[in-house]
């Protein structure tokens, strides 16, 4: 059965979505990711969707769900690498992912995570 790999980088987890998502895959990803966040004591999750060319309301909701789950487990989520066409589609669908942080690429996303976690520790 296909799975989406979850890579651990220090205290962050990196998820790269490169295949078309469907219900079962999304459920598996949510299971795996929440388990890994707990097991690895992850402080942040980066979801790279730069390979996704087509996004529908289902994926939009899945991203929002993952962000919400991670937040409950005290990990920040950043979605990175969205393509312009995908961004426009999501906005037209009325899904502006208000609860999800976004960044242009993995590098920027990583910076954002570090910054957020540092400021949270300071505060």
Q: Which residues bind other proteins (CB under 8 A)?
A: 79-80, 82-84, 86-88, 90-92, 96-97, 102-105, 108-109
Q: In sequence order, which ranges of 1-123 are alpha helices (DSSP H)?
A: 23-40, 57-72, 84-92, 106-122
The residue among 98 and 122 lying less far from other proteins, judged by its C-beta, is: 98
* Dihedrals phi, psi of 113, to nearest 5 degrees: -60, -50
CB of 13 to other proteins, least distance (A): 19
The residue among 23 and 92 lying less far from other proteins, judged by its C-beta, is: 92
d(CA 107, CA 92): 27
CB of 44 to other proteins, least distance (A): 15
CB of 40 to other proteins, least distance (A): 25
- Dmax over CA atoms of the chain, in Å, equals 43
């Amino acid at each position: 059965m296909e799975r989406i790999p979850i890579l651990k980088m220090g205290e962050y987890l990196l998820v790269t979505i490169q295949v078309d998502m469907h219900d079962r895959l999304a459920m598996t990803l949510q299971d795996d990711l929440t388990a890994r966040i707990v097991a690895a004591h992850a402080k942040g999750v980066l979801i790279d969707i730069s390979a996704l060319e087509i996004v529908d309301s289902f994926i939009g909701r899945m991203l929002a769900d993952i962000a919400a789950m991670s937040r409950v487990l005290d990990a920040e989520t950043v979605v990175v690498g969205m393509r312009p066409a995908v961004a426009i589609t999501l906005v037209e669908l009325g899904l502006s992912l208000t609860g999800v942080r976004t960044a242009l690429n993995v590098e920027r996303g990583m910076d954002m995570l570090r910054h957020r976690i540092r400021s949270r520790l300071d505060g």
